[in-house]
Amino acid sequence: MSAASEGPWALALAGGATVGLADFALHLLGWHLSLAAPIALGLSVFFLIGAGGALLRRGHDRARAWAQAHPWSYAAVPAAGTALTVFATYVFLSGHGLFGSMWEGLSDGLGVLVLLGIIGYVARGVRPAARRG
């Protein structure tokens, strides 16, 4: 079992949907109808809450200890998931074209990678998963 499977995915879904809907409402207030940007933001928040929450959960297991010992390797999978889903969202729901959609996906994926890497480093000190000593 991987460390990410222990994440708060129901909370992540609720958080991603809330942020996406709020961003959609802000786009509507500005008279700028867009589906791709709010969905992409919601997907990024979904992956951040789910994978970040898995790192910060209580308990002692080998998967979480590995994820905390290798935060950048752990963060690569949710970042890739973010990049692929945001890329697909922009390809199908916007007029950005292939390279514009690729840029959006890679930039969102990079943001998730950096934030989860930082969360992984912080989680080592706050909630260590492996007992030392």
What does pLDDT average to over the chain?
A: 88
32 contact partners, CB below 8 Å, separation of at least 6: none
Say what the pTM is: 0.87
CB atoms within 10 A of CB 95: 8
Backbone φ/ψ region at 132: left (φ over 0), alpha (ψ -120 to 50), beta = beta
| Per-residue pLDDT tens digits for 83-105 | 999 999 999 999 899 999 999 99
Mean pLDDT along residues 10-37? 93
